[in-house]
Chain A
């Protein structure tokens, strides 16, 4: 019987496996950031332990950092304290820190791949649920809690039970204006915010294959939004091309050896999955969410579902979500006025996302009623955008390019959406209060977000594309 991609990688990292115990899984690289690590370092101190493999630990400051004037001290006291604490802990324990001001600083799930730290066949963890992003390279990558951060710091290993395996195939040709973000929002809307719980999900099919690495990262990023433990995509030429030449990618002979191994990383034809789902690319419209979890998504031309269409016991939660969003049964979102557009987060803040948005907004201008924030995923993305002159295009369009960080994805810094306001956001979560207390989030792709910023209302990107023949 053949093996799945997931099992090949898992088996190659099992240090020890005993009946009745979770496996001890070896972690190749542990990413840490300021929010979920301080208590873990404290735990090490209390136990009198060092960081076991500091060279396999990479730190950055992203969740709390301001996205303007990063050269100045952080104004907000608690944020500054937390970021300073990370600096202090990294120094004390000998961990490399790409902190504020460092050319490699950025959102942890953007910098790992762009520095060539994330590679096929590896195991990656971080005290952050969107660690699933790194699975786009054909790796096992998942989010962990702070007790587990401490575990990995102390031992470079993690106790984990092997999840079940699911394959999600997407085949066919995408419509114009529909991209990776729409694919994943569509899948989650079909299987619900809990539909992947307990599974490692492998994405396959020719539509997935045709995506760039950035697109694949967008897909794997949101695996957690259907509850999946992780998401992964078998490596191919696209993957290898992306990794090649990056700062920490293997070089010379090591590279050749690595590539030879990576080419063995795929699910065998006779591998068996616990669950297989298939979707048709043609069925996918530009997507938008209307509710307060990422499973509550619809095609942009569709109507908000009726409360009566849900089972009785679900209706209370559903009504609560619609009330929070200020929406009602059967409402259409198309044409709904919005207040903010946020282009950023580990889902959609890579250079490709910014290029796509810049190409679209060139020569256009945002609507007066909308405030737009473009927040690059990393310092490198920001520099690249400037080098390509994207910042100028953005400025002319009223889309100021800020400095890198998580920003309005979770509103831990000053970038909060005010109460009651609507934000079309390229991030990954529309939970109540996620972007600021009582903020209202419509999740969408970068193109849908950009088009909505231009018109000031929720917009079907395809209406523009018909006129422009873009993408």
Chain B
């Protein structure tokens, strides 16, 4: 089945300089009761974004009109904890195309890649540069190129290359998904089962 294609974006960013952001923060468990993939964006970072009476918390970045864009930039070990893919759905549904951090939890990274949401792992240094850039100018533009695997702060021209699994890169730039690939190997699966 075709999935979203990702090749290149250039946009302002939303800074969230907190470390160890777990998927319970990204989407709390009580919002996991839906049986479709849609609408999770409304509850993205629910308990950081809204108070107990559902009023927006003014000091949270998503409620700050000065910050917007398609790239979420967060502290290290982003997406740790629960394997809930709803976290990736919520971030994508809210409108982000990429998440930048200096370290990602494994399962989150896989889930994001399976949903056309690109996790971009940068050095601690470069992460700090992005935060500095966006705190100096909230409209600072960042460019991410998946084809050539680099991320760049446009105003300063500073850039860094990032790693991505070549297979996953091919999937994302072409909109393929894993199931199509494994289904193409069905004979091998049956053969494997026969040997056991």
Contact = CB atoms under 8 A, between A and B. Distances in A.
A293 B24 CA distance: 11
A151 interface: yes
Contacts, number: 175
Interface string A282-323: 000000000011010000000000000000011011001000
A282 B20 CA distance: 30
A63 B82 CA distance: 13
B83 A129 contact: yes
Given A82-B33, A431-B81, A432-B24, A155 B186 contact: yes
B37 A155 contact: no
B160 interface: no
Tell me which of B19, B52, B105, B177 has the highest count of chain A C-beta atoms within 10 A of its own C-beta. B19
Interface stretch (B5-13, B63-71, B106-114, B150-158): B106-114
A412 B29 contact: yes
A82 B189 contact: no
B85 interface: yes
A22 B77 CA distance: 23
A161 interface: yes
Interface residues of A, number: 66
Contacts of B32: 35, 63, 412
Contact of A22 (B1, B17, B75, B167): B167
Tell me which of B29, B32, B181, B189 has the highest count of chain A C-beta atoms within 10 A of its own C-beta. B29
A127 B85 CA distance: 9
Nearest to A409: B29
Interface in A3-43: 15-16, 20-22, 24, 26, 35-36, 38-39, 42-43
Contacts of B37: 39
Contacts of B177: 147
A434 B88 CA distance: 18
A431 B23 CA distance: 9
A412 B86 CA distance: 14
Contact of A227 (B24, B80, B166, B193): B80
Interface string A180-208: 00000000000001100110000000000
B111 A411 contact: no
Interface string B66-100: 00000000011100111111101000000000000
B136 interface: no
B178 A159 contact: yes
A85 B35 contact: yes
B166 A147 contact: no
Nearest to B104: A197
Interface string B38-64: 000000000100001000000000000
B183 A155 contact: yes
A224 B81 CA distance: 7
Interface stretch (A99-107, A138-146, A361-369): A138-146
Nearest to B114: A147
B143 interface: no
A154 interface: yes
Interface of A: 15-16, 20-22, 24, 26, 35-36, 38-39, 42-43, 46-47, 63-64, 78-79, 81-82, 85, 127-129, 143-148, 150-151, 154-157, 159, 161, 163, 193-194, 197-198, 224, 227, 229, 292-293, 295, 313-314, 316-317, 320, 410-412, 419, 429, 431-434, 437-438
26 contacts: A24-B185, A36-B85, A42-B36, A43-B1, A43-B179, A129-B82, A144-B83, A145-B88, A146-B86, A147-B85, A147-B177, A147-B178, A154-B182, A155-B179, A159-B178, A159-B181, A224-B107, A292-B20, A293-B20, A314-B19, A317-B75, A412-B29, A431-B24, A431-B81, A434-B29, A437-B30
